[in-house]
A and B are shown apart, each in its own frame.
Chain A
Amino acid sequence: MLLQFPGPAPNEVDLTPTYDAVVVGSGAAGGMAAYVLTAHGFKVLLLEAGKYQDTGKILHSMEWPYDHPRRGRMPSDHHAITLNEYNVRELPYAQNTPYNKVQSYVQGWSGTDYSKTLVVDEKQNPYTGTRYAWVRARAVGGKTNIWGRLALRLSDYDFKAKDRDGYGENWPISYADIEPYYDKVDLYLGISGHPENLPYLPDSKFQRPVRLNASEMHLRETLKGMDRVLTPYRAGVTTDGLKHNKYRSRCFGRGACDRHVGGCDIHAAFDSPTGLIRPAWDTGNLTMRTNATVYEVTVDKDSGKATGVSFLDSETKKSYQAKAKSVIMAASTLESARLLLLSKSSLYPNGIGNSSGHVGHNFCEHMMGPSVSGLMKELVGKPKTNDDGRPGGFYVPRFRNLEGKKSEFLRGYGFEGSSGTTMLPSTAYATPGFGEEFKKHVREYAGAVIDMGAFGEVLPRYENYVEIDPNVKDAWGIPVLRFSYKFGENEQKMAKDMAVAGREMFEAAKFEILSSSNEMLPEGWSIHELGTARMGTDPKTSVVNQFQQCHDVKNLLVVDGSTHVNASCQNPTWTIMALCWRSCDHLADQLRKGEV
């Protein structure tokens, strides 16, 4: 059983050959690189800092809370950082806390048991500088094990945004370049959605869409009159099944996706381990080394090319070398930037691939927080319907700064929302009082509430950056990142507009507004960090070319979100994978021709 997944014990992986490619990180980008290159017949070594964890066994997605000893909460010596702590604590967040294990907020407000082994321990993985809610997963598949599933395309409104408003840089590609790769990703991984024919949010090759409940249908109709759109959640979930992938079931509408902090134990929702890595494994061309904490890209002094990477075994801390013809960074936007900056040598004194000085800079993401919560009064006291048995609710695409009238801020935002009854009635905590009246109120209002929250584009700015902290090291002795990152005036103005526009849409639908907020959540909250090794045509102002190869070192690729030139306001995962596929096709061509 040579091919039994996940293969031999980590320290038995053969590091003597020179692989065609070594891939650092196994999330959406790393999984895609491994899949595309092994499918082309190349020998790939995939390195992952965490362990392989079978999410089919740990997520327990259909378990009722009362069947879990702590009703789904983490052990009491574990602690998930709260919103308040992000606001008041000095970094590193886990310093001076008594808990044995400290994790980021993605563990839920009170900490959720199911993903506690997927998300890093902040005590082992500190960082310094300005406030930032940095969510990291170290496990095979990375954050795709727990992602939010919204799978959107970018358009030329994003790729050529500079042409439209003069700000920042254009991408070195246009929609026409990436469209065939979006199609490939859609068909290979499966995506659920409803076509809307919008030039600024192109349709995908959709499978069966989710359905909308009464209040969502009503809001959809209302928004048509405002020249806005409410579309069923575009989920990176196979709702009709995939004949070519035996590891993934189609979605059965159990709605477990959010209750257990994302993650799908039947793998209807895309995750890298079953969507990409296992198919790569089955080619016989993939070697996977888990517990491999990479700390440096190694270089040939004569040619200047990358020769491989150095890594530590995450448990024994013993050092190893991996050799390859090409090195592919897919460690996540911030970890990839960190590794480039850490890889200093006489040839590359500012870090490999960083002659431009742009590595770590132009850091951007999505700002969130502004939201609105409303009530469709007609639904109060009505019989309950199954409202959360689907991989997502709805999406309201961007409507600002498209054509015609310009806002006081640049770029735009979209809303994600949902409505109806959830397993834990969200309104209970905000319902005043106690007793029979309280109980009746919670029960009758549980199905009538509709919420939506905005995700807005944070402008890329050179002044927003990460760098290596000269003093602080992580548990493996590797220097950590120091953040210099803050939202600016454009984001402040956008946040105000989000709250106003959210209320305006609910008022137009005659929903009773229960609450609304224009407060921005801390930086990092969207878990959509981007931009720290951006693409471009000019080696002086960008790090990689349109095929994600470093301008300085052609056999070094960066294929994760760090290469995005701007954040757009659409969620990045699908674009990360489409770009990576395109770049790896190009790399495969060069490997075949011996040009790398």
Chain B
Amino acid sequence: MSTPLDRRDLLKLMTASAFAAMPLQLTAAGTAKLYFTADEFELLDVLTEHIIPRDKHSPGAHDAEVAAYIDRMVAEAFLPEDKQSWNTGLAEINRLSMENHKRPFVKAGKSEQIGLLKKLAKAEDDPQTEGEKFFKQLKGATIFGYYTTDIGIHKDIEYKGNVIQEQFSGYEAN
């Protein structure tokens, strides 16, 4: 006799649903949105924090206000297609989330959110689908947006340069 689910499996499932019950939702930083709707901005904020999250070492993209940086860059973009790609990309993320999890991305559970992004990230060297291409675009913008902030440069990377030095650091060639 075997039950459809043994205890071990049941435990796994429970943990998974516990995660799923706690969606990663972040309050957007106080900056006014220049281009995105409030819903789009919230989604962007959640996505960027997934790419570079807060960890024990340093705050992540949310605290570094990467979404606000992207909002500004997209608002100022010169070519209409450079703006539009963000709207369609964000919509595609929600479409995939609805398709797989019956909920928009920000309402999906954290593990569902990560699972969806992992699928898209698999093809980052050679993205083909709309979603895969958008992931690459999003990741690139998040990297630049994060590592050019006070948090990225000083708290995360702990960059030591851009200071006045009497002598160069390093070793003398012998």
- A residues apposed to B, CB below 8 Å: 62, 64-66, 69-72, 75-77, 98-100, 194, 208-214, 216-217, 220, 231-232, 252-256, 259, 383-390, 421-425, 428-429, 432-436, 438-440, 442-443, 446
Contact of B144 among A71, A194, A438 (CB under 8 A): A71
Contact of A209 among B60, B72, B114, B172 (CB under 8 A): B172
Interface of chain A, main secondary structure: loop
Range class of the B interface residue count: 35 or more
A543 CB to closest chain B CB, in angstroms?
41
Residue of B nearest to A210 (CB): B168
Return chain A residues, CB-CB under 8 Å to B78. 76-77, 98-100
Return chain B residues, CB-CB under 8 Å to A77. 78
Return chain A residues, CB-CB under 8 Å to B144. 71, 424
Q: B2 at the A/B interface (Cβ < 8 Å)? A: no
Contact of B124 among A100, A208, A432 (CB under 8 A): A432
Could you give, for residues 152-174 of chain B, a 1 whenever the CB lies within 8 Å of some chain A CB and a 0 otherwise?
A: 01001111111111111111110
Return chain A residues, CB-CB under 8 Å to B125. 432
Q: A254-B162, A384-B160, A440-B55 are in contact. Are A220 and B173 (CB under 8 A)?
A: yes
- B residues apposed to A, CB below 8 Å: 50-53, 55, 57, 60, 69, 72-73, 76-79, 114, 117, 121, 124-125, 139-140, 143-145, 147-150, 153, 156-173
Residue of A nearest to B57 (CB): A443
B13 CB to closest chain A CB, in angstroms?
23
Q: A70-B73, A434-B117 are in contact. Are A423 and B52 (CB under 8 A)?
A: no
B75 CB to closest chain A CB, in angstroms?
9
B165 CB to closest chain A CB, in angstroms?
3
Return chain A residues, CB-CB under 8 Å to B170. 210-213, 216-217, 385, 387, 390
A94 CB to closest chain B CB, in angstroms?
15
- B171 and A217 contact, CB distance less than 8 A: yes
Return chain B residues, CB-CB under 8 Å to A421. 157, 159-161
A438 and B139 alpha carbons, distance in the complex (Å): 11
Q: A71-B148, A440-B55 are in contact. Are A385 and B173 (CB under 8 A)?
A: no
- A388 and B60 contact, CB distance less than 8 A: no
Residue of A nearest to B169 (CB): A386
Return chain A residues, CB-CB under 8 Å to B171. 211-214, 217
- B57 and A386 contact, CB distance less than 8 A: no
Interface of chain B, main secondary structure: loop
A449 CB to closest chain B CB, in angstroms?
13
Q: A386-B163, A443-B57 are in contact. List 12 more A-B contacts (CB 8 A).
A: A64-B153, A66-B153, A69-B72, A72-B148, A211-B172, A212-B170, A212-B171, A252-B164, A254-B163, A254-B164, A255-B162, A387-B161
A216 and B171 alpha carbons, distance in the complex (Å): 9
Q: A70-B73, A98-B79, A439-B52 are in contact. Are A252 and B161 (CB under 8 A)?
A: no
A294 and B141 alpha carbons, distance in the complex (Å): 43
Return chain B residues, CB-CB under 8 Å to A231. 173
Return chain B residues, CB-CB under 8 Å to A387. 160-161, 169-170
- A390 and B168 contact, CB distance less than 8 A: yes
Q: A439-B52, A440-B55 are in contact. Are A254 and B173 (CB under 8 A)?
A: no
Return chain B residues, CB-CB under 8 Å to A99. 78
Contact of B114 among A66, A435, A442, A443 (CB under 8 A): A435
Residue of B nearest to A252 (CB): B164
Q: A77-B78, A428-B147, A439-B156 are in contact. Are A253 and B162 (CB under 8 A)?
A: no
Return chain A residues, CB-CB under 8 Å to B167. 211, 253
A384 and B157 alpha carbons, distance in the complex (Å): 8
A66 and B68 alpha carbons, distance in the complex (Å): 12
Return chain B residues, CB-CB under 8 Å to A443. 57, 156-158
Contact of B161 among A66, A70, A71, A255 (CB under 8 A): A255
A387 and B57 alpha carbons, distance in the complex (Å): 22
Return chain B residues, CB-CB under 8 Å to A64. 150, 153, 162
Return chain A residues, CB-CB under 8 Å to B169. 211, 213, 253, 385-387, 389
B23 CB to closest chain A CB, in angstroms?
16
Residue of A nearest to B156 (CB): A443
Residue of A nearest to B49 (CB): A435
Return chain B residues, CB-CB under 8 Å to A253. 164-169
Return chain B residues, CB-CB under 8 Å to A423. 153, 157, 159, 161-162
Return chain A residues, CB-CB under 8 Å to B165. 252-254, 386, 389
B107 CB to closest chain A CB, in angstroms?
20
Q: Which of B69, B117, B121, B144 has the most CB of A within 10 A?
A: B144
- B159 and A71 contact, CB distance less than 8 A: no
Residue of A nearest to B153 (CB): A423
B125 CB to closest chain A CB, in angstroms?
8
Contact of A435 among B50, B150, B159 (CB under 8 A): B50
- B55 and A439 contact, CB distance less than 8 A: yes
- B150 and A66 contact, CB distance less than 8 A: yes
Return chain B residues, CB-CB under 8 Å to A194. 173
Return chain A residues, CB-CB under 8 Å to B147. 424-425, 428, 442
Residue of B nearest to A79 (CB): B78
A145 CB to closest chain B CB, in angstroms?
20
Q: A211-B169, A432-B121, A438-B51 are in contact. Are A66 and B149 (CB under 8 A)?
A: yes
Residue of B nearest to A428 (CB): B143
A231 and B147 alpha carbons, distance in the complex (Å): 31
Q: Which of B55, B114, B147, B166 has the most CB of A within 10 A?
A: B147
A550 and B57 alpha carbons, distance in the complex (Å): 66
- B159 and A384 contact, CB distance less than 8 A: yes
Return chain B residues, CB-CB under 8 Å to A429. 140, 143
A379 and B159 alpha carbons, distance in the complex (Å): 15
Return chain A residues, CB-CB under 8 Å to B53. 435-436, 439
A62 and B144 alpha carbons, distance in the complex (Å): 19
Return chain B residues, CB-CB under 8 Å to A439. 52-53, 55, 57, 60, 156
Q: List 5 A-B contacts (CB under 8 A).
A: A64-B162, A389-B162, A390-B168, A434-B121, A442-B147
Residue of A nearest to B48 (CB): A434
Q: Which of A214, A231, A436 has the most CB of B within 10 A?
A: A436
- A424 and B148 contact, CB distance less than 8 A: yes
B153 CB to closest chain A CB, in angstroms?
6
